[in-house]
A and B are shown apart, each in its own frame.
Chain A
Amino acid sequence: MPSGSARCLRALQAAAPPTLLVVGIVTLWEGACRVFEIREFVLPAPSLIAWHFARSFPLYLGHTWVTVQEIVIGFLAGSAIGLIMAVGIVQWRALQRSLYPLLVLFQTVPKAAIAPLLILWFGYGILPKVVLVAILAFFPVTVDGILGLRSIEAPLIDLLRSVSASRWQILWKVQMPHALPHIFAGLRVGSTFAVIGAILAEWVGANAGLGYLIMSSAAELKMDRMFAGIFAASVLGVVLFYAVDLLERWFLPWHQKVDLQTAIG
């Protein structure tokens, strides 16, 4: 068992490189803005953005809340649809042949082009935003879900069949638990797409939310507000990503997830 201070030291060691990198980049940015006298409309200095962010913090809270609602509803709906599709495609060969190619085709449709259409079809409330979030979020869940459900060895399924386990028993008791790590990988990717979907939908037609804030600030050349909005959206994305991560730890205590950083390192 490591002692408390040792653990603290290790945490510090882990946090040091990313912190130093961020501080370095921000310093370089600030320095460049001052030394080269870069005009605000080209690139505002980080100090200016931070000052604006701090000064009008409630503004960001309000808009972030609007975006959060769209993301959460859309992400939940998209993930559910993605999972159902994965199960369907794995269970029925006909669906795999018919639906899967269509899904891939649909995924390549430029979403920025269909965003305005969604608003024409679904009105100017929250619905088109939720739909776009769901459209962006479902695909990685479907793909990873299929991968996960298929990851179980064929002899094991044969064995289960030999003891006359039903198709649904195999799905619920063996395939699904086995697929969960894959599904969570899909959810994590989907969560970052969900943020993009919400911002994009608000960009084309909304009167609140971070996407609206970024778009309207750009139209009025309020660059400090625009960058602060982008920053808030990024923070939101990171929070959502780690929320899914936390959910996975809680859901799958038995699964020793390979940490991305240790995997790379």
Chain B
Amino acid sequence: MRTRSTKLCVLALGVLSLVAAAGVVAQAAEMDRVKVRLDWVVRGGHAMFFVAKEKGYFKNENIDIELIHKGNGSVNTMTLVGKNEYDFGFGDLPTLAVAKSKGVPVAALVVVNQRSPMALVALKGTGVRMPKDVEGKVMGVHPSGSTYIFYQALMAANGVDRKKITEATVPVPYESFLLTRKVQLITGYIDAEIPELEAKAGGPGSLEIVLGADYGYDLLGSGMLTSEKMIKERPDLVRRFTRAYQRAFQDVLKNPQEAVEILAKHNPEVVEKKDVMLKQLDADIKYTFTSDDSKANGLGWNPPKKWQATHDTLLKLNVIEKAVPNINSLYSNDFLK
């Protein structure tokens, strides 16, 4: 008798657990699975995706993050999201405008860097306090992509005579050319390589940094984006994803320390760079994540005037060959509400 009841018990348990498992599977099947592509290796500004995942914000919105892939440049992120290989992406917004002018069907959802994080960097003692000081110096440039656009636009905005600059073409990472004094100046991101560079150059105060946004460079930085197809066919998913992302964005602003811990937990390769990533986030919080515009209209807001300025600068530099007919098509503020 006793064995029989045990058997029954086991059977009942088995059935119960099967039902439960089926329930879990069913629930998972109902969830929207999405793929995300970053622009580059993981840095502080990518924290929102991981924070939203870790804290269950995506799950609350019935979204399951299938994967977050690191990228190899914003151009590829734009084309891959445009081709719907990924559902959402993170990348340089001027590059998004260029891609759009070439017919890549993408649109920005959240502007993460309201002000550009790009800067001119020199070793201490070079004597660079403003863009005009670059005249007469050796500037390391790579004549393609976002850093070259930044360099050309910043020089133009400040009336700098580029004939007086020795432009040396160097490959990434530019930092090694600066540290070995092959060049006197390079361009860099205050929220990416500059904190790492500072550590190698001798700690805080070892660099001269001129933030472009302080000198008339008014292009947008990076942001979160999706494809036109997603906006058109799955607006509800886009809304839920953006909502979860925005919640995480608030958390990152309030608690960068926690954001870095979560980043390190999800990306073992950056565990030893935790202090650098915290500095990256601190720089973003101080200079780029918010602006008067975003304080008035909400975190992550797409400022129409800045989008226009971004587009027009690129057009003037001939990076965009054919103007985008409708600037509003570059972004959408509809999902932030």
Contacts and interface: CB of A to CB of B under 8 A. Distances in A.
Interface string B54-97: 00000000000000000001010011001100000000000000
Sort A-B residue pairs by CB-CB distance and give the 3 closest, nearest first: A219-B144, A216-B144, A204-B171
A219 B145 contact: yes
Contacts of B182: 120, 123-124
29 contacts: A39-B103, A40-B103, A41-B79, A41-B82, A41-B99, A41-B102, A42-B83, A116-B172, A119-B171, A120-B170, A120-B180, A123-B182, A124-B169, A205-B171, A207-B141, A207-B169, A212-B143, A215-B144, A218-B75, A218-B144, A219-B73, A219-B145, A220-B144, A221-B79, A221-B98, A221-B99, A221-B102, A222-B102, A222-B321
Contacts, number: 60
The residue among B82, B103, B141, B180 with the most chain A CB atoms within 10 A of its own CB is B103
A122 to B, nearest CB: 10
A202 to B, nearest CB: 9
B176 A120 contact: yes
B201 interface: no
B104 interface: yes
Interface residues of A, number: 23
A206 B75 contact: no
A223 interface: yes
B103 A41 contact: yes
B213 interface: no
Interface in A1-43: 39-42
Contacts of B176: 120
Interface of B: 73, 75, 78-79, 82-83, 98-99, 102-104, 141-145, 167-172, 176-177, 180, 182, 319, 321
Contacts of A115: 171
A162 B123 CA distance: 70
B146 to A, nearest CB: 9
A218 B73 CA distance: 11
Contacts of A222: 102, 321
Contacts of B170: 119-120, 124, 205
Given A42-B79, A205-B142, A221 B167 contact: no
B39 to A, nearest CB: 13
Nearest to A123: B182
B190 to A, nearest CB: 22
Contacts of B172: 116
A41 B104 contact: yes
B72 to A, nearest CB: 12
Given A42-B79, A120-B177, A207 B143 contact: yes
A40 B105 CA distance: 12
B102 A40 contact: yes
Contact of A216 (B103, B143, B180): B143
A82 to B, nearest CB: 27
A41 B102 CA distance: 7
Given A42-B79, A216-B143, A205 B169 contact: yes
A207 B319 CA distance: 16
Interface in A160-219: 204-207, 212, 215-216, 218-219
A120 B171 CA distance: 9
Contacts of A221: 75, 78-79, 98-99, 102, 104
Contacts of A120: 170, 176-177, 180, 182
A220 B169 contact: no
Contacts of B171: 115-116, 119, 204-205
B170 to A, nearest CB: 5
Contact of A220 (B98, B103, B177): B98
A42 B85 CA distance: 13
Contacts of A39: 103-104
B79 A124 contact: no
B319 A220 contact: yes
